[in-house]
Amino acid sequence: MHSFLSTSIGDVFVGKSSVLIDLAHFLSENYSNSAKIVLVDSNTIAHCFPILAEAIPELKEVELIEVEPGEGSKDLEICAHIWQTLSELNIDRHAVIINLGGGVVTDLGGFVAAIYKRGVDCINVPTSLLAQVDASVGSKNGIDFMGFKNQLGAFTPPKGVFVCIDFLRTLDKRQLISGMAEVFKHGLIADSAYFNEVVAQLNDIDFEKVVFKSIAIKHQIVTNDPFEKGERKKLNFGHTAGHAIESLSLEKGVELLHGEAIAIGMLIEIELSLLKGLFSVQQQKEVYSLYQSFFPLFAIKESDIEAIIQRSKQDKKNRGEVFQFTLLESIGKAIINQEISNKEYYQAIINYNNQLTL
């Protein structure tokens, strides 16, 4: 049994191993005479590709392009290497690139496909929880540039997304916890009942239901606003601060997973919501209690605060020099285009640090 979503930005299949059979049919119906390339990282080539190839034997013979795991692979030089490889293989515009991996692989592979020969098709087969609920759906792709997160990218949807829940068994606990940041975010911005439901089942999560519900929330928002002119900005809650923290950590050589950075970003942006009089102290305490028990939070060094603020000036929601944050009015209700001053941003980070010591 599996679930299926069909929207204007592509089809999404969610289930267990049967989803890979759906992928086999999809390839046969749409790409029987096309070259197929599978983009992997060193983790997914070892743990996930054998499962995929067992389900779809024809993929045992396809070209594999391997990158290193981690944010460092979302880089223009890596893209150039992949484009060179595709060119040397004489891959034409009728080919399909299958992105087998987490958010880095799906972001990178989507961008590579969008640019190569002005666009070849791609299919996402996300293997991490974070990629399954967020990164692999919604049509955005991108790479980092000049130390800024997702500075280069495009709105180019994959032709299909095939979410096999069984791949979550290949993850360690830290990766699963990181992915839960995006699950919580979907509840915080759009569905308080879903947020409470997930919190209530943390000791025994039904990942198939959770992944499908998160995808459904994101798909509804993206369908209403595919190019991020309005409502879709809600999905960026936690990401203005989170991306800045993530990119600064990468520059310093500190290992920080995307979800870990976004969890901190959400708490900082809750502090901004409080400063603006939008969010209640009671709900602030509820979210802090959950996150402190779940994520590896840490205080922001005062010497790093200005660097985080400066990096956030590259955020794509901003207008000129004015910060425009997505904030919360309550659990389940986000509000976009909230102007924030440098002083307010600085104070919110200080307030976040102070909350960790209470």
Coil, helix or strand for 104? helix
Residue 1's pLDDT band (boundaries 50, 70, 90)? very low
Asked which of 105-114, 119-128, 145-154, 347-356 is least confident by mean pLDDT, the reply is 145-154
pLDDT tens-digit map of 64-121: 999 999 999 999 999 999 999 999 999 999 999 999 999 999 999 999 999 999 999 9
Per-residue pLDDT for 8 more than 80? no
CA angle 291, 294, 300 (to 5 degrees): 55
Q: What value does the mean pLDDT take over residues 33-40?
A: 97
Q: In the numeric block, which tokens belong to residue 357?
A: 């010591």
pLDDT tens-digit map of 191-225: 999 999 999 999 999 999 999 999 999 989 988 89
Q: Enumerate the β-bridge partners of residue 64.
A: 38
Query: Cα dihedral angle (202, 206, 207, 212), rounded to 10 degrees?
Result: -120
Q: φ and ψ at 245, to 5 degrees?
A: -65, -40
Q: Enumerate the β-bridge partners of residue 97.
A: 37, 122
Domains of the chain: 2-170 (3.40.50.1970), 217-356 (1.20.1090.10)
CA angle 63, 64, 68 (to 5 degrees): 160
Asked which of 16-20, 197-201, 313-317 is least confident by mean pLDDT, the reply is 313-317
Per-residue pLDDT for 321 more than 80? no
Q: Cα(244)–Cα(247) distance, rounded to whole angstroms?
A: 5
pLDDT tens-digit map of 261-294: 999 999 999 999 999 999 999 999 999 999 999 9
pTM of structure: 0.93
CA angle 46, 179, 14 (to 5 degrees): 75
